[in-house]
Every structure is written in structure tokens, then in C-alpha cells.
């Protein structure tokens, strides 16, 4: 928790040119009216300061420290202070640009009005807008895993002779694995909007942005997943020379991911903005360049990667086809890994761009979508089992998982007799909130599971649970090992 600050200290730390808004009150338990008022105040200024009446004030029923903690949990509040003087005295020293009070105070005596007018500030009366009452619910959409929508099919693990206790132990072994993730960094912005309707001038959908949440995406979230699940993780990627790159590096380091960032001034850090309303994505805007990185950058990246290979148990290629992984570099890395006996896995995405998963040869696992597999094989007609077998042969992949969206996945591995075997695993979450992170979470969990010595059936099942947990939330927050463990303990559904 941030330390309480005096008015003088707060003012001293406000950047030059920034506007300050101030709201005061008891704030025993935050309710929708509080949220509307505070959000309205935050939209007026760059810094929102909330003053809480001290313990013992009439109407105060919750201890000050608890009230401050509750207020500071709101992302749009920068400072909260337990007042040791009257709000008017505090305002006189802080000199906020705006003092905001509820609309119900407008016709009453307001003692702070004289002080505010004296230094040139504004006293504003507003109770905010109704739409902000749902902001706390939106926060839960980003953070809370909904287990009630996840159903584990019991017949799959019965067929392949394992129990949930085996997966418990398997997940516990993740902390022994040293992972190196290589691939394209992406910044994901989720912009929650209120839909206002159709424009009267032209057939255009009109929305008002309410809140923006920013996540590390692309190969970056694969590295974050791996670290959050317990593996020691390094991340190699090419970043732009911009603020987005600084944000991504700082966020990953905060997650204890070892970042090897290579700057390329010819490209911005890839950024994707998703405009969402009522739990649906209305529009995605991509800011990117797709040309391959220079040989100089690739060679520098290869040199640093070579230096850490002796401390690597698994290499994961997370390819979004934005130029970070040119073929020459991939071939050099795979040659070095084979010489050292390091297993490799690969995922190559083709949502709005072309890809070829078969260019990653000799992988322990590849995890394309059906579309990506068909693109690699130039095959639009064969059945899924034949498709998986052909990809297995072309890419010389040990195991193949073809993801099928809401229909689950098809897995190609080996049976107990050592012969190729395919099986289907249905999707475990039938009511996803955001499917964008499903593939990355499955790829991460299944890859690390294989590295611990698990077979493809256990690895795919654990990956399926990871994906089910991930898509029960909105946005690209890293997986929690605790969520997977909780889900493993939930009863099977026939």
C-alpha cells in the first residue's frame, strides 16, 4: 500500500502542467454511486486525490486503513489520504484544480467554496454517469477465473490411463524446467466501450470508450504464462524504440521473466487494440510492420541465445509472423538445440497473416489451428487425422495438436505400442469470455509438460485445462498455477 501523503507532499509530486481533482468523504464501503463520482472526478484531471474523513467522524464505521486500501484498489485513484484536518484546510494547501462533490450538495452550504475560488479552482457538483456503476464488474472480467463453465471430460484420461493426481504432480515439476521463449512481442489494448447506437448521418456504430486495459501479448504472454506456472523463463524478442517496448520490458521483468530485448528502429513495437462492448470484440486495430529483422539483429540475438543454451531445458518458438523469426535464424537455433539435445516446440499463428508451421522442423510439439495446418500443407480437403499425419511427416514433428476452437483439439502422438495414434479432446469451456488467449496458454502448458517427461496425452489434457481457465477471463493476464490446480480438483462432468 502507498504511504499516506500530506497535501504539501502530494502537490510537490504532481508533474508540472498536470491537473488535480479532489474528492472527500467517509467511503466506508464503496458502492456504485461512489464509483460514478470518483470516475467522473478522475476524467476531469490527471491526478485524483481522495481525502477520507478520520476515524471517529460521524458516520465513519470502517477503520481508516481499510478504507484507504479499498480506495487505492481503484486503478484511477492516484492518492488517498486520511485527513488530519478539515477538508477546507487540506484543499487550501493542496490547491486542486477541481473539487468535486455529489449533486446533492449543490443547494447546501459548502464551506470549501471560498477557499477554492480564492486560488482560482473550480467547485463542481456531479454524481457522475450511470455507466460507471459497472466498472468494478468489468475489473472482475479481467481477473476472475470462472470455474463453473469448465467441464472436464472423464473418458479421455480413462482412455490414456492417468488421473488428476498425476497432473498435480506434473504441474509441480514445472519449477524444475528452464524455458527460453523466442518470438514476436505484442502489446494488447482492451478498450471497453459503451455502445451508443447507430450514427444518424451514416451507417456507423458509435461507442464511447470507458476504460483501457493493457497487456503484454504475443510471445511475451507465452513467456509470462511459463513463468507464472513455475518455470524459470527467458524471453528473446525484437522491440521497437518506443514507449510500448519500455512498458513490455518493465512488465515482464516485474513478472520475473529474464528479458533479452533487441531494438529495431525501423519498426514500432506491434500493438493491437481491441474495442469491446458487452463482452464482444467490435473491432481490432493492428499497428505493426511485418518485414523481417536485419541479419545484424538476428546474429546479435543468436550470439546471446547461444550463451544461455547450456542453462536451457526447452526452447519455445512463438511465431506471429511479424518478422522476428526469419528462416535463417530459425534454422541456426534448431541446429544448435539439436546438437545439445534441447527439445523444441513451436506455434506459428496466422489469424490475419500468412504462416507455415512446417518451417519449424524437428519439434517435439507443434500446435497449429486447422487453418494453419491446411496452409502449411496446401490441403483444403483431407480429414483431420490425415492432416495431422501429413504435418507430422512434413515437419518431422514428434507430436501434433491441431486446435479446433469450440470443438476442442485433435492430438497426434504415439500409443502404448509405439505406433502413431490420434485422439480428440473436446473443448472444456463452453462459455468463453475471450478466446484470444486460448492457443498461447495451451501451447505453453503442453510444451512444459512434455519437457518434464509427460506423454502427449497428459500434456494435451493439461494444456486444455489451461486454455479453459484462460478464456474464462477477458484479456491476456498470465495463467495462475493455482487456478489450474483448483480446476483439477473439480468433479468430472459426463
The pLDDT of residue 206 is 85
Half-sphere exposure of 264 (CA within 13 A, CB side): 26
Rounded CA-CA distance 24/100 in Å is 8
Q: What is the pLDDT of residues 7-42, one digit of tens each?
A: 888 888 888 889 999 999 999 887 767 888 898 899
Strands 399-403 and 409-414: antiparallel
**For the chain, percent of residues with pLDDT exceeding 70:** 93
Can you give the pLDDT at residue 149? 65
50 and 102 both lie in a single domain: yes
pLDDT average, residue stretch 147-152: 70
Strand runs labelled E in 166-269:
178-183, 185-198, 205-218, 232-239, 258-263
Say how many domains are in the chain: 2
What's the mean pLDDT when you consider all of the chain? Answer: 88
Mean pLDDT computed over 273-298: 88
Percentage, residues of the chain above pLDDT 90: 60
C-alpha cell at 319: 511465431
Distance between CA atoms of residues 225 and 442, nearest Å: 10
Segment 294-337, tens digit of pLDDT = 999 999 999 999 999 999 999 999 999 998 999 999 999 999 99
Q: Which carries the bigger pLDDT value, residue 342 or residue 483?
A: 342
Q: Which residue would you say has higher pLDDT here, 321 or 211? A: 321
123 and 174 fall within a common domain: no
Helices and strands counted in the chain (H then E):
17, 18
Domain of residue 85 covers 7-128
Give φ, ψ of 112 to 5 degrees.
Answer: -80, -10
- Comparing 253 with 199, the larger pLDDT belongs to 253
Model pLDDT for residues 55-99, shown as the tens digit of each residue:
999 889 889 998 998 898 888 899 999 999 999 999 999 999 999
- CATH of residue 16: 3.40.50.620
Same domain, 265 and 283: yes
In angstroms, rounded to a whole number, what is the distance separating the alpha carbons of residues 160 and 156? 6
Q: What is the residue whose three cell numbers read 488467449? A: 437
Placement of cell 546474429 in the chain: 299
Do 121 and 162 lie in a common domain?
A: no
Among 76, 107, 128, give the residue marking a domain's end.
Answer: 128
Backbone angles phi, psi at 215, to 5 degrees: -130, 155
pLDDT 10s digits, 122-143? 999 987 654 444 444 445 555 5
CATH (domain of 256): 3.40.1190.20
Q: Residue 362: which of 325, 324, 317 has the closest Cα?
A: 317
Instruction: Looking at the structure, tell me whether residues 246 and 324 fall in a common domain.
Output: yes
Element (H, E) at 401: strand 399-403
Tell whether 332 and 200 lie within a shared domain.
yes
Range with the lowest mean pLDDT among 198-212, 370-384, 418-432, 456-470? 198-212
User: Quick check: pTM over 0.75?
Assistant: no
Can you give the pLDDT at residue 144?
57
Amino acid at each position: 500500500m502507498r504511504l499516506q501523503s500530506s497535501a504539501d507532499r502530494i502537490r510537490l509530486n504532481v508533474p508540472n502542467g498536470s491537473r488535480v481533482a479532489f474528492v472527500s468523504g467517509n467511503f466506508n464501503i464503496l458502492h456504485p454511486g461512489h464509483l460514478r463520482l470518483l470516475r467522473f472526478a478522475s476524467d476531469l484531471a490527471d491526478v485524483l486525490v481522495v481525502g477520507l474523513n478520520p476515524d471517529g467522524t460521524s458516520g465513519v464505521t470502517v477503520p481508516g486503513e481499510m478504507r484507504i486500501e479499498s480506495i487505492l484498489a481503484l486503478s484511477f485513484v492516484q492518492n488517498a489520504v486520511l485527513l488530519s484536518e478539515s477538508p477546507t484546510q487540506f484543499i487550501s494547501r493542496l490547491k486542486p484544480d477541481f473539487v468535486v462533490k455529489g449533486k446533492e450538495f449543490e443547494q447546501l452550504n459548502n464551506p470549501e467554496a471560498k477557499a477554492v475560488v480564492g486560488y482560482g479552482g473550480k467547485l463542481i457538483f456531479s454524481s457522475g454517469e450511470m455507466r460507471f456503476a459497472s466498472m468494478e464488474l468489468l475489473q472482475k472480467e479481467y481477473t476472475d477465473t470462472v470455474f463453473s463453465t469448465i467441464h472436464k471430460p472423464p473418458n479421455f484420461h480413462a482412455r490414456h490411463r492417468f488421473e488428476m493426481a498425476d497432473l498435480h504432480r506434473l504441474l509441480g515439476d514445472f519449477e524444475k524446467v528452464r524455458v527460453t521463449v523466442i518470438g514476436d512481442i505484442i502489446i494488447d489494448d482492451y478498450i471497453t466501450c459503451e455502445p451508443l447506437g447507430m450514427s444518424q448521418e451514416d451507417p456507423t456504430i458509435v461507442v464511447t470508450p470507458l476504460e483501457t486495459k493493457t497487456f503484454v501479448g504475443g510471445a511475451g504472454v507465452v513467456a509470462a504464462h511459463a513463468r507464472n506456472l513455475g518455470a524459470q523463463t527467458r524471453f528473446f524478442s525484437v522491440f521497437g524504440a518506443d514507449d510500448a517496448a519500455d512498458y513490455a520490458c518493465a512488465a515482464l521483468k516485474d513478472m520475473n521473466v529474464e528479458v533479452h530485448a533487441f531494438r529495431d528502429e525501423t519498426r514500432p513495437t506491434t500493438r493491437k487494440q481491441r474495442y469491446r462492448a458487452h463482452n464482444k470484440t467490435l473491432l481490432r486495430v493492428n499497428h505493426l510492420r511485418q518485414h523481417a529483422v536485419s541479419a545484424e539483429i538476428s546474429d546479435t540475438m543468436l550470439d546471446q541465445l547461444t550463451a544461455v543454451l547450456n542453462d536451457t531445458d526447452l526452447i519455445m518458438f512463438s511465431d506471429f509472423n511479424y518478422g522476428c523469426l526469419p528462416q535463417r535464424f530459425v534454422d541456426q537455433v534448431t541446429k544448435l538445440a539439436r546438437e545439445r539435445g534441447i527439445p523444441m516446440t513451436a506455434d506459428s499463428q496466422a489469424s490475419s497473416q500468412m504462416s507455415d508451421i512446417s518451417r519449424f522442423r524437428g519439434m517435439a510439439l507443434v500446435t497449429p489451428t486447422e487453418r494453419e495446418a491446411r496452409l502449411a500443407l496446401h490441403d483444403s480437403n483431407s480429414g483431420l487425422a490425415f492432416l495431422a499425419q501429413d504435418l507430422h511427416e512434413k515437419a518431422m514433428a514428434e507430436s501434433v495438436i491441431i486446435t479446433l476452437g469450440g470443438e476442442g483439439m485433435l492430438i497426434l502422438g504415439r500409443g502404448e505400442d509405439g505406433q502413431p495414434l490420434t485422439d480428440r479432446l473436446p473443448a472444456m469451456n463452453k462459455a468463453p469470455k475471450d478466446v484470444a488467449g486460448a492457443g498461447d496458454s495451451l501451447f505453453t502448458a503442453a510444451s512444459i509438460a512434455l519437457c518434464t517427461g509427460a506423454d502427449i496425452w497428459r500434456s494435451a489434457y493439461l494444456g486444455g485445462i489451461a486454455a479453459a481457465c484462460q478464456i474464462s477471463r477477458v484479456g491476456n493476464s498470465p495463467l495462475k498455477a493455482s487456478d489450474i490446480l483448483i480446476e483439477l480438483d473439480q468433479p468430472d462432468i459426463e
